Amino acid sequence: MPTVRKLLEKINIGAGFEGELRYDEPMSLHTTFRVGGPADAWYRPSGDRSVEAMAILLKAARDEGVPVFMLGGGANIVVADRGIRGVVLDTTGWTGCSFTDSSVLVRSGTDVDSAADACAERSLGGLDFLAGMPGTVGGAVWMNARCYGSSVSDVLQETEILDEDFRRVPVPFDPAAFSYKRSPFQDRRVLIVSASFRLLPRSADALREAMRLHRADREAKGHYRLPSAGSSFKNDYAYGKPTGAVVDGLGLRGLRLGGAQVADWHGNIIVNTGNARATDIRGLARLVADRVREAAGLELETEMLYVGDWDEDEA
Ligand SMILES: Cc1cc2nc3c(=O)[nH]c(=O)nc-3n(C[C@H](O)[C@H](O)[C@H](O)COP(=O)(O)OP(=O)(O)OC[C@H]3O[C@@H](n4cnc5c(N)ncnc54)[C@H](O)[C@@H]3O)c2cc1C
């Protein structure tokens, strides 16, 4: 902890940089699961010069051996009860879209739902499939998020990153580098700064109606009923049915561990019933995976990401 504070004081973060800085920030405030202990330091940069400032921060952190975790909307992560050591760089202060006739450049901290709205307002389709999905554009690119038959990689044109040498560089879209819920950024330690997407002219009314249906479908499926990270496990098309149906088929809906529960309305959503700890969620996911392996011989792959300072036993 002293190293983190010293590092941030040395580079004058908080005073010289625009944005918000807090020490011992509860990560439960920044995750859709509403769990997670304190981050040693949490920093949300804002302002036009802050990407360059982040290059300074990331380089100093690497030189001092301080880990930095890039946070989007916290919609796909389970942060350990002991929190996160080092610095959490919260990108949600970087928002905004700029348009050409056939594409949009979106800053990484913009939430995907409002990016979809901004496109629809200009009668441009492409991001509408993401309406209602929690999280940021940076997180959606990193995860290659997928819903309603489309993946982010279907519309991605270019990603701008701070690379491993802290240079701000464009990464042209390479279809071979993306697959189901996989992006090349998962194998790198980079900060996604913005992304541009291909758009097509469409009637604003048709787009608004399509987005209304997506949001209503999520509402009906109970996505927003209790805190969660959406799907707990990836789908594996080789199983012949969605993971939720596999879990349902084994009667595991409603299974509880502490404050975590397999939603009693959806087999592939673990929810926080109010007082869950991160260990409850992770333990319950393990229990479900064990039951599915024993009963059906299938190996579930967790979709939500375990982040932070986990105990050996918990992990
Ligand atoms: C109710 C609900 C429904 C959901 N439905 C879906 C769905 O239909 N389809 C789907 O695919 N997902 C779904 N999810 C999961 C989640 O919305 C997506 O995975 C989303 O893309 C995560 O984005 P985020 O900004 O919250 O990322 P986070 O959870 O904050 O981070 C996820 C990963 O991305 C990295 N990351 C985030 N931003 C950056 C950045 N700027 N630079 C570098 N790395 C970064 C983080 O380090 C982390 O490793 C759902 C979640 C919820 C809560």
Confidence (pLDDT) at 10: 83
Question: What's the CA-to-centroid distance between 9 and ligand 1, angstroms?
Answer: 30
More confident residue, 13 or 258: 258
Render pLDDT for 150-199 as a digit per residue (tens, 0 to 9).
999 999 999 999 999 999 999 999 999 999 999 999 999 999 999 999 99
- Could you please state the CATH topology (level 3) that the domain comprising 2-93 is classified under: 3.30.43
User: Hey, where are the domains in the chain?
Assistant: 2-93, 97-218, 223-307
Query: CA-to-CA distance for 305 and 315, rounded, in angstroms?
Result: 12
SS3 content of the chain, % helix, strand, coil (to 5): 35, 30, 40
**Confidence band for 315, pLDDT divided at 50, 70 and 90:** low
Q: What share of the chain in percent tops pLDDT 90?
A: 87
Output the CA–CA distances (angstroms, integers) from residue 68 to 55, 58, 266, 279, in the order listed.
12, 7, 34, 22
Model pTM?
Answer: 0.96
Q: Taking the mean position of all CA atoms in its chain, how far away is CA 101?
A: 28
Check 50, 303, 312, 314 and give the catalytic one. Answer: 303
Q: What's the pLDDT tens digit per position in 40-65?
A: 999 999 877 788 889 999 999 999 99
CATH 3.90.78.10 assigned to domain 223-307? The reply is yes
Atom of ligand 1 nearest to the CA of 190: 43
The DSSP output letter for 302 is B
- Using alpha carbons, select from 286, 283, 288 the residue that is nearest to residue 243: 288
- Check whether 1 has a pLDDT greater than 70: no
pLDDT number for residue 16:
57
Helix axes 112-121, 204-220, angle to 10 degrees: 150
pLDDT band at 238 (very low <50, low <70, confident <90, very high): confident
Q: Is the CB of 277 under 6 A from ligand 1?
A: no
pLDDT at 207 over 60: yes
Per-residue pLDDT, averaged over 268-288, amounts to 97
303 as an active site residue: the answer is yes
Question: Distance from the CA of 2 to the center of ligand 1, in angstroms?
Answer: 30
> How confident is residue 91, by pLDDT bands cut at 50, 70 and 90?
very high
Q: Name the catalytic one among 64, 231, 301, 312.
A: 231
* Ligand 1 contact via 289 beta carbon (within 6 Å): no
Q: Do 185 and 161 form a contact (C-beta atoms < 8 A)? A: yes
pLDDT reported for residue 47: 78
With a cut of 90, say whether residue 101 has pLDDT above it: no
CB of 272 shorter than 6 A to ligand 1? no
HEC profile of 192-257: EEEEEEECEECCHHHHHHHHHHHHHHHHHCCCCCCCEEEECECCCHHHCCCHHHHHHHCCCCCCEE
Fold designation for 97-218: 3.30.465
Instruction: Copy the structure tokens of residue 117.
Output: 């709205």
* Rounded distance from Cα 133 to ligand 1 centre (Å): 9
pLDDT in tens, 108-139: 999 999 999 999 999 999 999 999 999 999 99
- Average pLDDT for 94-115: 96
In this structure, the number of other CB atoms found within 10 A of the CB of residue 263 comes to: 23
Fold match, 97-218 / 223-307: no
How would residue 312 be classed by pLDDT, with cut points 50, 70 and 90? confident
Per-residue model confidence (pLDDT) at position 3: 84
- pLDDT value, residue 58: 94
